[in-house]
């Protein structure tokens, strides 16, 4: 066969078509019904250009008629890869994880790849080994890592040694550009500071995430810089560390609102903690935003469902998941880029902020 010749199999006009097939339809059944070879069916399933359009249409019609689904295990053996994409995460915010999954699935649903999840706990010894064991066990084609797993350089070194492709989502440039999805967390936090300062707030507090998260440091850094633009600073006692969860947000806000000179505004490092501030404020009989302004971070769906609607910094988490999946698929296809993908947060002003005493 010449290099550019395409396979054309005889028509199936006279081929017997079974009235029914017992059990699951196999690739052998499709080949027999369409009167072509099993190899031709395989080529069509895998979108090979080596098959004529006439043969392709005929086989695809049989595949559709019988609802044939290729066996993923057989395909994995044939291609020597699993058609799995891993998502390894340690994030205490359920909505963040859900939005990230949705973004990844938006891309994978148009491909042959499936998503497999690997939750971990970075505080536990041996968690790196658990992720590497996950790779050895399932042999995913690659792994996507959101914060804070993405921030672990030692883990990424171990994955490279295993020959595992990966993409990191982080607030800093931590790796080669083709492996990075960069979030500008510091700039988003600076926007929150500018918004509160412009409203006239001076006693402003910040509840930040765990110190083990680079994002917590980036958001604190950006918030301080934004306040400094207006000659303001975070006074002593006006910062609280929490765990990026609702419960820890309540506790941190309780500490701030029990102060003799309580803050008139609080910026939380994520929406989960910000919703905790709502609960704490209501326990203290404070009105939002008349007595206390609240700003969150992430713009999760809850921000526009709670009352009053929450002012927050929007981070396009679902789109970040999409871009991470696209970048990983590009890696798997041998493509690379000299520039990391970057996402700029933006503040979304709603009803939870107002001038102090307003």
The domain spanning residue 27 has which CATH number? 1.10.260.40
Domain count, the chain: 3
Residues 225 and 307 in one domain: yes
Residues 207 and 277 in one domain: yes
- Give the residue, 331 or 21, on which the prediction is more confident: 331
353 in a structural domain? no
Confidence band of 4 (pLDDT split at 50, 70, 90): very low
Give the Cα separation of 276 and 209 in Å (integer): 13
Please report the pLDDT score of residue 241 as a whole number.
96
Please report the pLDDT score of residue 21 as a whole number.
60
Residues 191 and 151 in one domain: no
CATH number at residue 281: 3.40.50.2300
Please report the pLDDT score of residue 16 as a whole number.
43
Residues 236 and 303 in one domain: yes
Tokens of residue 249, six digits: 């947000």
Residues 128 and 94 in one domain: yes
Q: What is the mean pLDDT of residues 229-243?
A: 94
Write out the residue range of the structural domain in which residue 280 sits: 185-314
Of the three residues 70, 93, 113, the one that is the final residue of a domain is 70
241 in a structural domain? yes
pLDDT digits (tens, 9 = 90+) for 179-213: 999 999 999 999 999 999 999 999 999 999 998 88
Contact 12, 19 (CB under 8 A): no
Residues 219 and 267 in one domain: yes
Reduced to 3 states (helix: H, G, I; strand: E, B; else coil), residue 14 is coil
Please report the pLDDT score of residue 162 as a whole number.
87
356 in a structural domain? no
Residues 291 and 341 in one domain: no
Residues 327 and 297 in one domain: no
pLDDT digits (tens, 9 = 90+) for 86-137: 999 987 677 888 999 999 999 998 888 889 988 888 888 888 998 988 888 8
Is pLDDT above 80 for 6? Answer: no
Please report the pLDDT score of residue 353 as a whole number.
98
| Rounded to 5°, angle at Cα 235 from 230 and 237 | 150
Which ranges constitute the DSSP H helices of the chain?
27-34, 38-45, 53-66, 72-79, 94-108, 127-138, 153-161, 185-199, 214-228, 246-257, 271-283, 317-332
């Amino acid at each position: 066969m010449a290099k550019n010749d395409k396979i054309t199999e005889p028509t199936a006009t006279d081929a017997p078509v079974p009235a029914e097939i017992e059990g699951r339809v196999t690739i052998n059944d499709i080949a027999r019904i369409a009167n072509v070879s099993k190899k031709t069916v395989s080529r069509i399933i895998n979108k090979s250009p080596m098959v004529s359009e006439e043969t392709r249409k005929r086989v695809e019609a049989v595949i559709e008629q019988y609802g044939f689904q290729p066996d993923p295990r057989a395909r994995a053996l044939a291609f020597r890869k699993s058609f799995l994409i891993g998502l390894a995460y340690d994030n205490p915010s359920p909505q963040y994880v859900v939005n990230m999954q949705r973004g990844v699935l938006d891309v994978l649903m148009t491909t042959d790849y499936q998503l497999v999840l690997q939750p971990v706990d970075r505080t536990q010894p041996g968690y790196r080994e658990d992720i590497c064991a996950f790779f050895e066990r399932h042999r995913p084609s690659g792994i996507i890592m959101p914060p804070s797993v993405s921030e672990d350089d030692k883990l990424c070194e171990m994955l490279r040694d295993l020959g595992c492709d990966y993409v990191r989502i982080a607030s800093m440039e931590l790796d080669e550009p083709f492996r990075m999805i960069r979030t500008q967390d510091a700039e988003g936090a600076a926007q929150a500071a500018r918004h509160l300062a412009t409203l006239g707030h001076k006693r402003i507090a910040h509840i930040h995430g765990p110190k083990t998260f680079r994002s917590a440091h980036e958001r604190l850094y950006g918030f301080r810089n934004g306040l400094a633009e207006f000659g303001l600073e975070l006074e002593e006692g006006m910062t609280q560390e929490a765990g990026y969860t609702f419960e820890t947000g309540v506790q941190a806000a309780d500490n701030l609102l029990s102060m003799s000179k309580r803050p008139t505004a609080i910026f939380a490092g994520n929406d989960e903690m910000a919703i905790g501030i709502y609960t704490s404020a209501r326990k203290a009989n404070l009105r939002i935003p008349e007595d206390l302004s609240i700003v969150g971070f992430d713009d999760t769906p809850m921000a526009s469902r709670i009352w009053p609607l929450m002012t927050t910094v929007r981070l396009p988490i679902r789109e970040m998941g999409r871009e991470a999946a696209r970048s990983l698929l590009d890696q798997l296809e041998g493509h690379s880029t000299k520039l990391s993908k970057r996402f700029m947060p933006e503040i979304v002003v709603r009803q939870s902020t107002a001038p102090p005493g307003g």
